[in-house]
Structure 1
Amino acid sequence: MKRIFVPAAATALALLAAGCGSKGTPDAAAGAGPSSGAPLAVIATTPEVADFVRSIGGNDVSVTQIIKPNVDPHEYEPTPADIQAIGKAKLVVKNGVGLEEWLDQTIESAGFTGTVVDASQGVAIRKGDPGDEEMAGGDPHIWHNPQNAKTMVTNIEKAFAAADAARADIFASNLAGYSAQLDKLDADNQAAFAKIPAQQRKLVTNHDAFGYYIDRYHLQFVGSVIPSLDTSAELSAQQLTDLVAKITSTGAKAIFTESSLPPKSAEAIAKQAGVKVVGGEDALYGDSLGAPGTPQGTYLGAEQHNTQVITSALAG
């Protein structure tokens, strides 16, 4: 387990910032609404969670996103600016399932006294590999099933309504509209994979990030370049040999790289196995989203991209 050390100077800075905020006012208590029409100050840990927060909160929330696009969340280390922002927020929304192992200590260092919202509450969690100590609590990549995403945004909406009751109807309306979009995404994905024969639905990826997606759309997971839910693991020589043999024996057509991970190892394995690498602009969004302002910069756009890329490659 990675240990996160927060610099003392950063801690002092964050505590000072928190002390200068509204900590002493009645509205700073958990569940209290803001005293004015100002947007609700929300910290969101990952790009996916931040997009959910914006979709439910709209203009009625002010979102500070901690992890930027194409930054590996498994290896993230908080900055002094993160600590200061958390100290000023009313809500912190996290993915949960152990993805943000750095967060608890960072919250403590920031002197945060608001509400922490675990978006994973109520999601059925896939168990990690028994040998994968980093992910003993389960697979954190829950958003890759749109039905799990619906649970996540419902948790977010409930927390927003509790924190700002005056705008609860707005949050509820936003939730209804976004949930309908998630249902459409799910239906579109199912329709796309229905066109691919079951024996061709074989997936090889950079790391084991797509378990919920695989389960939802009935794919066969052949293996991953990184043999873990955590991106810091590495293949042993024997595991590499085994993966090449498995790719060959199953007839998998490609190795799909991911936007937040380097493709070099995938390219080497693909060469040995005699299969193509799907990468570059077609790289999958496993742990991240695309650049802000692009279609893939949203959860819906990134998931649509993933399905289009995977189905095109498997059908080819």
Structure 2
Amino acid sequence: MSALRSEDPVPVIPTPTRLAAGVAGLALLAALLAGCGSSSAGSGNAGAGGRLPVVATTSQVADFTRVVGGDRVRVAQLLKPNVDPHDYEPTPADIEAVADAKVLVENGVGLESWLDDAVGAAGFDGIRVDASRGVTIRAGSGDEEKAGDPHIWHNPLNAKIMVADIERGLAQADPANAGYFHANRIIYDKKLDVLDGDIRRQIATIPPADRKLVTNHDAFGYYIERYGLTFVGSIIPSFDTAAELSGSNIRTIVDRIRRTGTKAVFSESSLPPRTARTIATEAGVRVEAGEDSLYGDSLGPAGSDGSTYLQMEEHNTRVIVAALR
């Protein structure tokens, strides 16, 4: 699947070969000329209000697209906050949004397994941006992650690559605003560098022997690799966040927590906290669960500590450091 596809040529209004005589013919010609003259360079793909219509699948890539596109884009976000992207089913409104878009931004790495069907149903023929293009992909876990681990955004350096992919797609769709998109991306790159340095500084305050994570599911591999943590195990041993744990699975993870001296169990804000609390109680360790726990597969709602990508990663780091230090 190609990450970027050139859009179809912008339709050109045909010039009539013969204009009817009289006022009606002159009015038609004037309307045609006025319509052509009112369009600015690069605005052929603009939607309502002169903004480029873009669809973004996940909350993360939607946030990146809004940052780069600024007030020159109109972003329709398919997955709402705290919605699991793995088994999402597009709605009729989603299909309509894809049909109306000139650019489609996706996370990639198999996260949106439902997307190709949605694109086909919508008849989308614009520019498709795979935000994982250029990212070094970790091996996935199980048959569900044959393309690799899709949780690429949990490393800010990967986020820089994703943002650059999005910039290229927007610039291809709207060359007149390419400089604007580039300037926004450069500013955001600096914020991502600051975020990366701050996370490294905070993780360094955790004693090395205590830098061990048990999470709800295996969604933080890129974060763990980047910041030198150890992954002890996941509460849900599968790609499916709705999977139920057996008694033997619970005993296994509890035993592993005890053997490794892991200090805490981390659930996710978008997932039920009951199992995480049960395991932490059995193991005799701290639990971080509920609305203020980690943001894994999705950003949080507006006003939460995870409402943007930068806030999400800062929040996750604070929670991890507080629990392990």
TM-score (norm 1): 0.87
Range with greater deviation from structure 2 (231-240 or 256-265): 231-240
Secondary structure, aligned partner of 1:216: helix
Answering whether residue 299 of structure 2 is matched by residue 299 of structure 1, we say no
RMSD (CA atoms):
1.8
**Which structure 2 residues correspond to residues 141-290 of structure 1 after superposition, within 5 A?**
141-290=151-300
In structure 1, the partner of 2:70 is 58
Deviation at 1:239, TM superposition (A): 2.6
Distance 2:106 2:235 in 1: 27
Q: CA, structure 1 residues 295+259, in 2 after alignment: closer, same or farther (shift >3 Å)?
A: closer
Q: CA, structure 1 residues 234+137, in 2 after alignment: closer, same or farther (shift >3 Å)?
A: farther
Deviations 1:137-196 (A, max 9, x none): 110000000000000000000111111110011000000000000000000000001111
Give the alignment partner of residue 87 of structure 2, picking from 33, 58, 75: 75
Distance 2:165 2:52 in 1: 16
In structure 2, the partner of 1:14 is none
In structure 2, the partner of 1:112 is 124
Letter in 2 for 1:47: S
Answering whether residue 94 of structure 2 is matched by residue 85 of structure 1, we say no
- Give yes or no for contact 1:227–1:234 (8 Å, CA) kept in 2: no
In structure 2, the partner of 1:34 is 43
Deviation at 1:296, TM superposition (A): 1.9
Range with greater deviation from structure 2 (292-301 or 208-217): 292-301
Any unmatched runs of 5+ in structure 1?
Answer: 1-21
In structure 1, the partner of 2:106 is 94
Deviation at 1:236, TM superposition (A): 3.7
User: Between Structure 1 and Structure 2, how many residues are aligned?
Assistant: 288
Range with greater deviation from structure 2 (49-58 or 267-276): 267-276
- Give yes or no for contact 2:95–2:118 (8 Å, CA) kept in 1: yes
- Give yes or no for contact 1:203–1:255 (8 Å, CA) kept in 2: yes
Range with greater deviation from structure 2 (239-248 or 176-185): 239-248
Distance 1:280 1:165 in 2: 44
Distance 1:282 1:293 in 2: 12
After the TM superposition, which parts of structure 1 deviate over 3 Å for at least 4 consecutive aligned residues? 22-25, 232-237
Q: CA, structure 1 residues 242+284, in 2 after alignment: closer, same or farther (shift >3 Å)?
A: same
Deviations 1:90-149 (A, max 9, x none): 0100000000000000000011111110000000000012xx111111100000000000
Letter in 2 for 1:216: R
Secondary structure, aligned partner of 2:235: strand
Deviations 1:23-62 (A, max 9, x none): 88438xxxx9432671110000000010000010000000
In structure 1, the partner of 2:32 is none
Deviation at 1:228, TM superposition (A): 2.4
Letter in 1 for 2:52: L
Distance 1:244 1:141 in 2: 25
Distance 1:219 1:61 in 2: 38
Secondary structure, aligned partner of 1:158: helix
Whichever of the two has the greater Rg, that structure is 2
Distance 1:149 1:265 in 2: 31
Secondary structure, aligned partner of 2:216: strand
Distance 1:52 1:125 in 2: 19
Deviations 1:50-84 (A, max 9, x none): 00000100000000000000011112111000001
Letter in 2 for 1:179: D
- Give yes or no for contact 1:214–1:220 (8 Å, CA) kept in 2: yes
Distance 1:23 1:109 in 2: 18
Distance 2:127 2:11 in 1: 15
Letter in 2 for 1:99: L
Distance 1:195 1:267 in 2: 26
Letter in 2 for 1:76: Y
Any unmatched runs of 5+ in structure 2?
Answer: 1-6, 13-40
Deviation at 1:209, TM superposition (A): 0.3
In structure 2, the partner of 1:8 is none
Range with greater deviation from structure 2 (73-82 or 278-287): 278-287
- Give yes or no for contact 1:206–1:258 (8 Å, CA) kept in 2: yes
